[in-house]
Structure 1
Amino acid sequence: MSFVPPPPKSRHWTFTAAATAVVTPALVWGIDRSYRSTDRCLRAHGSWIGDSEADIPDACSEISALLGMLALIAGAYVAATAITGLCVGVTEGRRRRGFGHRRWFTVIVVGVAAPWALATYAVGHGIGRLLRPPAADTSWTDGRDAARRTLGFLAQGGHLGTVPAPGFLTDEPVHLDARLHYARHYGTTVTYQQTSALAFGSAAFVTGALLANAVGNSNARSRAARLASPQWRDHELTRVVLTPTRTWCYSFGRWLSFDHTAVMEYHLDPHGVVLLFADTEPLRLTGPAAWLHAVLFAYFRFGASALTTVSFLQPISAAQSPAATAATSPSTSR
């Protein structure tokens, strides 16, 4: 039995609908009453609202002051609700929540009582949708879970199925066809050009020119040595196909074959696997399907009985849960 979390609370929408339904009509009513009373008072004294040259009579000063205060309160109320709507919209848009939590009755109430707030909320919600972080990449977790399930299945005596491999021709069955990052570890030869300086002038000028030339040659030599040193090269996202005896990598327009019996050491890390050979450069495969490659390699190289004892599979078997031992044959897609 799994626990299903309750939907997120949206009481702020209920509070906003109730507050705007009370405050907005009250402010409109108060401003209207004050405006009418001020207008009647000014007309009775020979003036009217909007006459900037006339002084407000003492008898109308109190009610006109009340009108001004209510106007300021209304302006602050509109600005505060508009800014709040914008901020709430951005927040809820980034969290991928539905417009107004899909509480349409309260949304309609807010739209009638404070349309400016709903408008800024809509703008903020759209901005939040654009700014929301991308969905979490579950491919790595899915790949490791597939490796754990496959390890448990094979260790219990399960029979491994095959997968289709369009465009790949081999007499052997294919058990893995995936996209992985490919790299090889080796050194190379890098050439660089030494420069010579010929300077005329004062002793200080000549000395400075020679020193600058020496520093430039030293930097070029250091850069060449750094580029020539053994390191991971030929990085490429490529197609990897595994058969019972070989791992095939489509690298730079050609298929490269790596015999499983030629592997001297096999290492597993959180992001991929490394294969060491006696007569060729090490191979690194990185990606969500790399751990599954480790399980299948161990299965074909050492047999099902050794899956629980192979050292490089310990991180997989240690994290394996009882639920991961599926009773169905696993398969891997591209």
Structure 2
Amino acid sequence: MSFVPPSPKSRHWTFTAVAIAVATPALVWGVDRSYRSTYRCLRAHGSWIGDSDTDIPEACSEISALLGMLALIAAAYVVVTAITGLCVGIVEGRRRRGFGHRRWFTVTVVGVAAPWAMATYATGYGIGRLLRPPAVDTSWTDGRDAARRTLEFLADGGHPGAVPAPGFLTDEPVHLDARLHYSRHYGTTVTYQQTSAMAFGSAAFVTGALLANAIGNSNARSRAARLASPQWRDHELTRVVLTPTRTWCYSFGRWLSFDHTAVMEYHLDPHGVVLLFADTEPLRLNGPAAWLHAVLFAYFRFGASALTTATFLLPIGATQAPDQSGTTSPSTSR
């Protein structure tokens, strides 16, 4: 039978068991001894513990103060270890770790030396088990992997397959049907209202009123200029359909068509793509399927040879490839 060293993540149980096994008996012994000494001293001077009508004799004041200090330390020790046990229990239960990391000897030591701490740990552990950790969103990684696999497949001579597009009518085959965040970049006209102020009174009052009115008008003008400046607008999670010649976006109740030949520039960022046109506002599409749109756009717009030369596709080709032990096919579905 070989010896398995304790996991670094569970050594806190060993430390806790040793610390509690030393601290608890020491506090109990100190409080008990101080209590007995105080009791004997008060009895020798004709007083009793808890007698509020009799002052503590001077000869017993020091040992009585020591007893009070030790009692406060013991109470704080109980509270701190109980709260710590509750917090550790919630964390370990939430992470689905074994009860006490299944270090049963140290768990037993803690339970005997500090049963209140073990009780709060068990309560916290049960609460933590009921709390589900937040699900890890793998959609972005899956989207990039799909784009990379499609890029490799098409660069090796493959052909993109068509996907069903329920409710969308076109004479061309559909190769991508996905939900993406849609936005457009443009400026607009914003109107704002200037106010005029009339003030009567002292010179200081009139000056203050006019100054406040000027500041208000300046703020309104600045806010209107900020709202009117070119920026990304019309944000919407929408349906995006790609055919060999166009990208279609269902925006605010209507289908908008973007001809691929009209795209002057195409940019990639970590979360999506940006299409620049000569005669209309730039289009931004964000979402896990955006990089797949970039691969298909390059293929249909420039041909298969562009898949290895297009600058905006370099981040996709540079992503780490997964295990190649199995056979994969391009994913262009929703």
Q: Same fold (TM over 0.5)?
A: yes
Residue in structure 2 matched with residue 93 of structure 1 by the alignment = 90
Name which of structure 1's ranges 251-260 and 292-301 shifts more when overlaid on structure 2. Answer: 251-260
What is the alpha-carbon distance in structure 1 between the residues aligned to residue 7 and residue 135 of structure 2? 19
Residue 162 (str. 1) matches residue 199 (str. 2): no
Residue in structure 2 matched with residue 61 of structure 1 by the alignment = none
Residues 251-301 of structure 1: per-residue CA shift (max 9 Å, x gap) = 222222212122111111122111011221110111222222111111111
Residue 195 (str. 1) matches residue 220 (str. 2): no
Residue in structure 2 matched with residue 60 of structure 1 by the alignment = none
The 8 Å contact of residues 13 and 100 in structure 1, kept in 2 or not, is answered as no
SS of the aligned residue for 2:305 comes to: helix
SS of the aligned residue for 2:308 comes to: coil
Letter in 1 for 2:306: A
1:11, distance to aligned residue in structure 2 (A):
4.1
1:9, distance to aligned residue in structure 2 (A):
4.1
Residue in structure 1 matched with residue 217 of structure 2 by the alignment = 217
Change (3 A) 1:221 1:50: closer
Change (3 A) 1:165 1:113: farther
SS of the aligned residue for 1:307 comes to: helix
Residue 83 (str. 1) matches residue 80 (str. 2): yes
Residue in structure 2 matched with residue 305 of structure 1 by the alignment = 305
What is the alpha-carbon distance in structure 1 between the residues aligned to residue 70 and residue 141 of structure 2? 55
What is the alpha-carbon distance in structure 2 between the residues aligned to residue 114 and residue 127 of structure 1? 20
1:313, distance to aligned residue in structure 2 (A):
0.9
What is the alpha-carbon distance in structure 2 between the residues aligned to residue 237 and residue 273 of structure 1? 15
Structure 1 unaligned segments of length 5 or more: list them: 1-5, 56-64
TM-score, normalised to structure 1's length?
0.72
Give matches, 1:1-334, under 5 Å: 9-13=9-13, 80=77, 83-84=80-81, 86-87=83-84, 89-91=86-88, 93-94=90-91, 96-97=94-95, 98-101=97-100, 103=102, 105=104, 107=107, 110-111=110-111, 114-125=114-125, 134-321=134-321, 323=323, 327-332=327-332, 334=334
What is the alpha-carbon distance in structure 2 between the residues aligned to residue 101 and residue 22 of structure 1? 20
Change (3 A) 1:142 1:11: same
Residues 80-129 of structure 1: per-residue CA shift (max 9 Å, x gap) = 46634532552463364325245284656654664311112134446767
Name which of structure 1's ranges 291-300 and 104-113 shifts more when overlaid on structure 2. Answer: 104-113
What is the alpha-carbon distance in structure 1 between the residues aligned to residue 154 and residue 326 of structure 2? 10
Change (3 A) 1:90 1:158: farther
RMSD after superposition: 4.7
Change (3 A) 1:204 1:114: closer
**Number of matched pairs:** 322
1:75, distance to aligned residue in structure 2 (A):
8.9
The 8 Å contact of residues 239 and 249 in structure 2, kept in 1 or not, is answered as yes
What is the alpha-carbon distance in structure 2 between the residues aligned to residue 104 and residue 231 of structure 1? 58
What is the alpha-carbon distance in structure 1 between the residues aligned to residue 225 and residue 90 of structure 2? 52
Residues 291-316 of structure 1: per-residue CA shift (max 9 Å, x gap) = 22111111111111210101111222
1:195, distance to aligned residue in structure 2 (A):
2.2
The 8 Å contact of residues 160 and 329 in structure 1, kept in 2 or not, is answered as no
What is the identity percentage for the equivalent residue pairs of Structure 1 and Structure 2? Answer: 77
Name which of structure 1's ranges 103-112 and 238-247 shifts more when overlaid on structure 2. Answer: 103-112
1:185, distance to aligned residue in structure 2 (A):
0.8
SS of the aligned residue for 1:172 comes to: coil
What is the alpha-carbon distance in structure 1 between the residues aligned to residue 117 and residue 275 of structure 2? 61
What is the alpha-carbon distance in structure 2 between the residues aligned to residue 258 and residue 325 of structure 1? 39
What is the alpha-carbon distance in structure 1 between the residues aligned to residue 243 and residue 132 of structure 2? 42
